Amino acid sequence: MMEKATSEKPRKKAVPTEASIDPATRQMIARAQDLNIETVFDRAENMKPCNIGVQGICCKNCSMGPCRLPLPKSGIEGEDDRKGLCGATPNTIAARNFIRMIAGGAAAHSDHGRCVAEVFMSAANKETDVYKIKDPGKLLSIAPWFNVDITIEVDGETVDRDIDEIAVEVAEKALNEWGKAKGELLYLKRAPKALYEKWEKNGVLPRNIDREIVEIMHRTHMGVDQDYKNLIKQGTRTAIADGWGGSMMATDLQDVLFGTPYPLESEANLGVMKEDHVNIVIHGHEPILSEMIVAVAQSGEMEAYAKSKGAKGIQLSGICCTANEILQRHGVPLCGTFLQQELAIITGACDAMVVDIQCIFQNVANVAKCFHTKLITTHPIAKMEQENVIHIEFDEHYALEDAKRIVKIAVDNFKNRGADVMIPHQKGTQIAGFGVEAIKYHLGGTFRGSYYTLNDNIINGRIRGVAGVVGCNNARTRHNEGHIAVVKELIKNDVIVLTTGCNGIACAMEGLLMPGSAAAYCGPGLAEVCETVGIPPVLHMGSCVDNSRILLAASEMVKAGGLGNDISDLPVAGSAPEWMSEKAVSIGHYFVTSGVYTVFGVTLPTSGAPVFQKYLFEDIQKLYGGMWDLEVDPIKHARKMIAHIDKKREALGINKTRERIMMDMATRRELESA
């Protein structure tokens, strides 16, 4: 069936037990090796990362280079006189590289947001029948942030405005955020006042999304900005434009179009694929197309068509953040994380993999070639050169037709499956779909409708603090090990975890998103709260653009009171234990500059520029209250976060757990008469 080695030299193979902690993943890596198909795990054995690039001090911004400035093994004694041909210092080079990563990440999130805004505009203008406003309540809740009135005065009376009019105006205002000529991003005012004032004082209020990204490319061009503090200032402006701009609008407009998530039950891991069903795996990030595929695949017409071809039905599942999007709104199961994308095809049971944008390995096309799998690209900006890839360009005006065509290709392909199908049995059950609103409801109750109960439990010490643990897998570290170890250590120490992205998928695979995991893994305080309220100790808040939900949850905590007046006062911390993408750097930086101590695992491309790294790890705290850190060991990583949380508890004067005293009537009377 297959072969794939590309050189004469014998290639090394990954050891499955060392490559992943997940049994399903190990099984599929071994199967791939038996079939002589190479995966990312094997490639990571054969190609080691460049030591200079890892340190962040390779400059290839002009053709006199690349100039490489590695740290000497003996360290730097005295003055650091390393320079590129133009004289660029390690600080300049590392800062330029770092903010170019922010630009890449912010561009990816924000361009995704722009596509959603454009579809929202089509829906508002009624240019399409298939996209409609599914959650008018959410539209009304965001309209005022765009300065769009939701009521008008008629004959001296206040009446509700027509929802369609509101939608058109919100769409116009939202799209304007990418390129307006004057002013600042409108959503910045959603941050706590104290934070907004810090941004204003430091001169980092983003003007419009595209401009900030373009300005990074300009400033990092040869011979422009050569002051690492000034460079990172632009990185800050751009990262804020991502978190509080492009990503936040993507999240909100997706909720308006497709519904705001509320908790629902589903499953996760490769074991969600079914041998007797047509398996369609959706992979990427934008839910615009996948929403339609869900609708079509679940229609009676397509179910019947699948049955007519000998299948028992259609099993949809997802990889990466598209998976999180269709999980949180429809309960579609998660097939796997970023590092499992090739493995879904290696089951031999994937009839079609449908991809849109971001985090897609080009090698899925090579793996698909070894099986019957149809690989379908759908986005005009994301095609692949391999000949076996089918491109069906998705157009929102013909969304249903496109989705039907794609599902039909998968169904028709069912009969071409080989006999050697191997689907791992492992899958975890999960409760996902905790948006800001759902957390408010579950922890605050219908009437209270605030984060008061969460704050109260933090103040009384049952919950020690809140951690946002997010981000990717990285083939340079054992698949899912860091994710799970960090999260387990946090919940063991009564820190409730908010998760998104591939961390959310990893936690779902491990069963940590079930309320029952509270008794098994949590400290007594957090377990008590979870059991009383009926929530898991790890709350899945969605995809990577939905990290904006974590920013808003933190802002709600500030609003609920009792924990200071800024996000930087809260006992919270952020983490990306297995990060790999530029998007993660942008997220990390908007967490930090929103006041959150944020720890990354694996590596950080700043180590070759110690002065710049110190600025990120220490000095930047004076400006925004948050700072970066790097910790590879997952237990130490979690403990650093806990230590920060404890420091914040101490500053708030809530570091001593209040003892609960059983009072007799005499003591009560004494207290009352006092």
Binding site for ligand BF8 (CB under 6 A): 285, 320-321, 338, 359, 471-472, 501-502, 543-544, 581, 583-584
* Beta carbon nearer to ligand BF8, 544 or 567: 544
How many residues are listed for the chain in this entry?
A: 674
Tokens of 310: 């000998």
Tokens of 336: 């796997």
Its sign, for the CA torsion 262, 266, 267, 268, is: negative
**What is the rounded CA–CA span in Å between residue 110 and residue 220?**
20
Smallest distance, ligand BF8 to C-beta of residue 337, A: 6
Smallest distance, ligand BF8 to C-beta of residue 477, A: 13
Smallest distance, ligand BF8 to C-beta of residue 500, A: 7
* Beta carbon nearer to ligand BF8, 16 or 501: 501
**What is the rounded CA–CA span in Å between residue 92 and residue 98?**
10
CA dist list (Å): 52 to 56, 75, 141, 614: 7, 14, 48, 19
* Beta carbon nearer to ligand BF8, 285 or 637: 285
* Beta carbon nearer to ligand BF8, 486 or 620: 486
Smallest distance, ligand BF8 to C-beta of residue 45, A: 20
Asked if residue 103 lies in contact with residue 242, where contact means CB atoms within 8 angstroms, the answer is no
Its sign, for the CA torsion 43, 545, 240, 166, is: positive
Smallest distance, ligand BF8 to C-beta of residue 180, A: 26
Could you tell me whether strands 428-432 and 264-268 are parallel, antiparallel, or unpaired per DSSP bridges?
Answer: antiparallel
Smallest distance, ligand BF8 to C-beta of residue 221, A: 26
Smallest distance, ligand BF8 to C-beta of residue 583, A: 5
**What is the rounded CA–CA span in Å between residue 399 and residue 330?**
18
Residues facing 441 on adjacent strands: none
Residue 637 has, within 13 A of its CA and on its CB side, a CA count of 28
| Residue reference for tokens 């948006």 | 435
Amino acid type, 329: R
* Beta carbon nearer to ligand BF8, 407 or 497: 497
* Beta carbon nearer to ligand BF8, 529 or 544: 544
Residue 303 per-residue DSSP state: H
* Beta carbon nearer to ligand BF8, 305 or 361: 361
Smallest distance, ligand BF8 to C-beta of residue 587, A: 8
Smallest distance, ligand BF8 to C-beta of residue 229, A: 28
H or E element that contains 19: helix 16-19
Smallest distance, ligand BF8 to C-beta of residue 321, A: 3
| Residue reference for tokens 């300009």 | 218
Crossing angle of helices 501-509 and 320-330, in 10° steps, is 70
Smallest distance, ligand BF8 to C-beta of residue 584, A: 6
* Beta carbon nearer to ligand BF8, 108 or 195: 108
DSSP 490-544: HHHTTEEEEE-HHHHHHHHHTTTTSTTHHHHHS-HHHHHHHHHHT--SEEE--SS
Write the CB contacts of 454 (distance below 8 Å, at least 6 apart in sequence): 439, 443, 444, 463, 466, 496, 557, 560
Its sign, for the CA torsion 94, 99, 101, 102, is: positive
Amino acid type, 213: I
Q: In 3D, which of 552, 543, 314, 537 has the Cα closest to residue 443?
A: 537
* Beta carbon nearer to ligand BF8, 219 or 549: 549
**Angle made by CA atoms 116, 285, 115, in degrees to the nearest 5:** 20
Smallest distance, ligand BF8 to C-beta of residue 323, A: 8
* Beta carbon nearer to ligand BF8, 500 or 517: 500
**What is the rounded CA–CA span in Å between residue 650 and residue 627?**
18
Smallest distance, ligand BF8 to C-beta of residue 89, A: 30
* Beta carbon nearer to ligand BF8, 355 or 584: 584
Could you tell me whether strands 157-160 and 264-268 are parallel, antiparallel, or unpaired per DSSP bridges?
Answer: unpaired
Smallest distance, ligand BF8 to C-beta of residue 57, A: 24
Q: Which parts of 420-511 are beta strand (E)?
A: 428-432, 465-469, 495-499
CA dist list (Å): 48 to 33, 52, 343: 20, 12, 22
Smallest distance, ligand BF8 to C-beta of residue 544, A: 3
Phi, psi angle pair for 317, to nearest 5°? -155, 170
* Beta carbon nearer to ligand BF8, 261 or 625: 261
Smallest distance, ligand BF8 to C-beta of residue 359, A: 3
* Beta carbon nearer to ligand BF8, 396 or 546: 546
| Residue reference for tokens 């994937």 | 350
* Beta carbon nearer to ligand BF8, 246 or 608: 246
H or E element that contains 195: helix 193-201
* Beta carbon nearer to ligand BF8, 455 or 500: 500
CA dist list (Å): 574 to 465, 510, 622, 637: 11, 20, 18, 10
292-301: long-range contacts (C-beta < 8 A, 24 or more apart)? 292/130, 292/399, 292/400, 292/402, 292/403, 293/354, 293/403, 293/406, 293/407, 294/326, 294/330, 294/332, 295/400, 295/403, 296/400, 296/403, 296/404, 296/407, 297/407
| Residue reference for tokens 């757990």 | 657
* Beta carbon nearer to ligand BF8, 305 or 434: 434
Write the CB contacts of 75 (distance below 8 Å, at least 6 apart in sequence): none
